[in-house]
Amino acid sequence: MFTKNSIQVGDKAPDFSATAVYEQEFKQVKLSDYLGKYLILLFYPLDFTFVCPTEITAFSDMYNQISSLNADILGISVDSEYCHLAWMQLDRESGGVGDLYYPLVSDLNKEISLSYNTLSNEGKSLRGLFIIDQDGIIQHILVNNLDVGRSVNETIRTLKAIQYVQNNPDEVCPANWEPGQSTIKNSPTQAKEYFKSI
């Protein structure tokens, strides 16, 4: 018998409740608040670092496009809510993130990072990205090391592919698929039509 040591795609996303900062205010957020929407969980190491603000602001800059896909974002690190607030109150040119279109969650006790298996040996969150569907099921997991930032465009492409196959369960998306491109019928005989066309 196989035993699982951590969460994986297809599992129910671990619920949590925590303090977040949004629009310069503290608020409580729960994962379950987002049921009915897709959710991008964006774990990152620490505020006031170097790669982190580039990711946090890049996702905020693309927020309207993500929101148009019935999706939302939560940024999560092991910093306190007060640290998040100070980071948001600092402009981008000075190493801050300024106003964001989505909340930053405080995981000071590291329980959320532990439950999503993103906590590093040094006690920081790795660059974990999770796409959770409308039913609270994990559909995508990506984890980078601390020195490598993630791609917002690839996250959006993956989200669109997940939504497409959920709405078209008899089809699958090939490598580098973009909306409007051919998919593969989920059948040994019908799949050949796709491979004949490439």
Q: Which tens digit of pLDDT belongs to each residue from 23-44? A: 999 999 999 999 999 999 999 9
Residue 193 within a domain: no
For residue 34, the domain's CATH number is 3.40.30.10
Told to judge if 52 belongs to the known catalytic residues of this protein, a careful annotator would answer yes
CA distance 157 to 160: 5
Residue 23 within a domain: yes
Residue 75 within a domain: yes
Residue 162 within a domain: no
Q: Give me the percent of the chain exceeding a pLDDT of 90.
A: 85
From 39, 52, 132, 162, the catalytic residue = 52
- Mean of per-residue pLDDT scores for the chain: 94
How confident is residue 6, by pLDDT bands cut at 50, 70 and 90?
Answer: confident
CA distance 4 to 12: 14
The range of the structural domain enclosing residue 114 comes to: 17-150
Q: Is residue 137 predicted with pLDDT exceeding 60? A: yes
Structural domain count of the chain: 1
CA distance 159 to 152: 10
Around Cβ 11, how many Cβ atoms within 10 Å?
Answer: 13
Q: Hey, is 174 helix, strand or coil?
A: coil
Burial (CB count <10 Å: 0-12, 13-18, 19+), residue 28: exposed
pTM of the model: 0.94
Residue 172 within a domain: no
Residue 56 within a domain: yes
Residue 57 within a domain: yes
How confident is residue 5, by pLDDT bands cut at 50, 70 and 90?
Answer: low
How confident is residue 3, by pLDDT bands cut at 50, 70 and 90?
Answer: low
